[in-house]
Chain A
Amino acid sequence: MIRSAWVIAKKEIRLLFKSTRRILLLFTTPLIMFIMFVLILVISGLIAIDAEKPLDVTVIQNDEGHNGIIWGDGFYALLKSHNLTKDYIYKNESVINLNAILQEKNFTVLLYIPANFSATINQSVPAQFFIHYNNARVNSQGMVANILTLSQNYNIQIIYYYHGVVNLTNIYVIPERLGGDEGFESFIASYFTMIPLYAILLLVVPSLSLVLISVTIEREQKTLESLILQPIERKSIIAGKLLYGSILVVFNTAITLVTIVAIIVIGMISLPESLRTELVLIIESVIESADITVWLFILYMLLGLVLVSLLVITAAVLFSLMAKDEREANMVVSALIIIPLVSTFLIAFLPVSELAESFQFILVLIPLLGYLFAIYLSLTSGELTLIAWFSLVGQLGWTLIGIWFAGRLIESEGILEISYKRFFRFRRKK
């Protein structure tokens, strides 16, 4: 079985390189990434010109400082060096005045650094400052993300400065809109849930299409018949296609990683010397300060990516076995791609984290989508709960069900003619 699966997978790889169309498909991901990189370079060039116009960030400083050092001053200088603020700062505003300013809503983003901030930081106790953003203005979310990154970097610099205990700065992001009051977590969580989503799309979809082609082409060119006539188990045809799909995903991941490294290297080279050393320092410190939960989370993401890739490949084999030709199969691919896209909207609007736990357990079992929900839930709760791991088991379960079903399907005698229309008749007969 393994031997014939390997023979079939090898044949698929040979066939892959016989068609430019399919080779192009294989290299879609790095191509897209490179185009995006070039676009970013161009756009950042455009932004540099645009930066003359100061952006509307208001900083309200209520902190007296500690030993003559005012934390907010350094941070403000950093914001300014990144062209993120207008050139004004309120000092020693009382909370009442702050409320009035908030009422006026005359800002895009407003930073409020409360009293005793520097003193608290200096005691190695978590301190907090607030970011209010005006949701009515389109760009404010992006700007908040920028400020968050900057404050993170600045925080790390402080850690360096003190050479001592890690200081945590709690940041509260408060969107200001018609009574809306979403928390920081859900905002950041939905922001980060996108990452595995796009990773899946980028890494799996080209392989998915290629696997679909490889199965439907057997039926279209009528070679499936010559396969099942051979003295091999029919299931090894399924195994061969799955193996081929897995090889594709691994290959695609590898070339994507190479592209990312290349992009980082090129990006680094094009940065000015001072910024580069700063960036390296920041990356190093981030890696150093990452604790076990961070590594566990990365492990979780990788494991999830592997399992979800397998699931998608299995789905590709299964659906293309049921499809009459490539056209029917492509119908399914587009549906598969739309599902995660729709799910991003769902995650943005559905308060998954507030649902009853039993319902959450069911939600995370949904194929593909469930994994995204699980990531979202872990990000909002800040830890990898049982539900998160349960979701991975669920994805694996679906994969096994899919493989089992594909095995049943290829054993069925209608396999040479099956199309979706006939499929339901075939089910009834069984």
Chain B
Amino acid sequence: MEAVAISTNKLSKIYNLGKKNEVHAVSDLVLNIRKGEIYGLLGENGAGKTTTVRLLTTMIKASSGSAKIFGYDIETQSDIVRKFLGCLPQDAGLYEEFSAIENLKFIAKLRGIDSAEIPSQIESLIQLVGLEERQKDRVETYSGGMKRRLMIARAMLGDPQILFLDEPTAGIDVLVSRRVREIIKTLAKEKNITVLLCTHDMISAERLSDRVGILHKGVLVAEDTPASIINKHATENGDLEDAVVNIIGWKGDKDEEDVL
């Protein structure tokens, strides 16, 4: 039996920039993501990855189509849907004057986590992302990567069933990046948590994802396991990056492609 965590039905988002200038950020997206699956969402800049995350986390409303999280409609039952979610937005911030602990404590309280559980949960999350040494310092004194790690911890507060990670490894060093990958893997395998991972980091996508979907100009143009995507689309001995480049159609000239 495989429970469906995320299912979308022709989900579309059109941004109206005025003067008949419309952007089809996401078009007729159909996704079915199993519980416990790690799903990598890939695509060029402006492909619609972040828009998809924003739609599914009920931050914005769809122009047409619908989506369900564990069977709950994201539009009509958004309050329930948000209980299942943890989200690391691409472009998020922290309370700069608060310490790591204070930042986490505030969100934990907002999520309605039992106050007896909060300290232990925060402690283990801070350990997970390796911020013990700086946990009491103000966030404004952190490096970019440290902030990103804290945001990952924030997304995991309250044991969410689905994690949306929009470029979690952006700006993170290789060591922590590897650690984050391990964390995501463990969460998915041991706690059966579903992860939707948007990333430009092909190594993460290839090693982590059970399946990857490739968005191009808002349209899902390919979807399969990383191995079969590489198999089908990459040139000989190519990797996932190779496959993605081929799928979304690199329009540059041959020389440039070689350089890459």
Contact = CB atoms under 8 A, between A and B. Distances in A.
Interface of A: 3-4, 7-8, 11, 14-15, 18-19, 221-223, 225-233, 413, 416, 425, 429
Instruction: Determine the main DSSP class of A at the interface with B.
Output: helix
A221 to B, nearest CB: 4
A226 B98 contact: no
B92 A225 contact: yes
Return the 5 tightest CB-CB contacts between A and B, nearest first.
A222-B93, A18-B97, A231-B82, A413-B60, A221-B93
A7 B96 contact: no
Contacts of B12: none
B174 interface: no
Given A230-B111, A231-B83, A413 B93 contact: no
Nearest to A19: B97
Nearest to A17: B97
Contact of B112 (A19, A222, A231, A429): A231
B91 A225 contact: yes
Contact of A226 (B16, B79, B107): B107
Given A11-B106, A232-B110, A226 B92 contact: yes
A230 B18 contact: no
Interface of B: 16, 18, 57, 59-61, 79-80, 82-83, 85, 87, 89, 91-98, 102, 106-107, 109-112, 138, 154
B95 A230 contact: no
Contacts of B60: 413
A426 to B, nearest CB: 10
Given A232-B110, A413-B61, 9 more contacts: A11-B95, A18-B138, A223-B93, A225-B89, A226-B92, A229-B82, A229-B85, A229-B87, A232-B82
A222 to B, nearest CB: 3
Contacts of A19: 97
B110 A4 contact: yes
A84 B13 CA distance: 78
A8 B95 CA distance: 13
Nearest to A22: B97
Contacts of A7: 106, 109-110
B241 to A, nearest CB: 29
A15 B87 CA distance: 23
A429 B102 CA distance: 38
Contact of B110 (A225, A230, A425): A230
A227 B93 contact: no
A233 B79 contact: yes
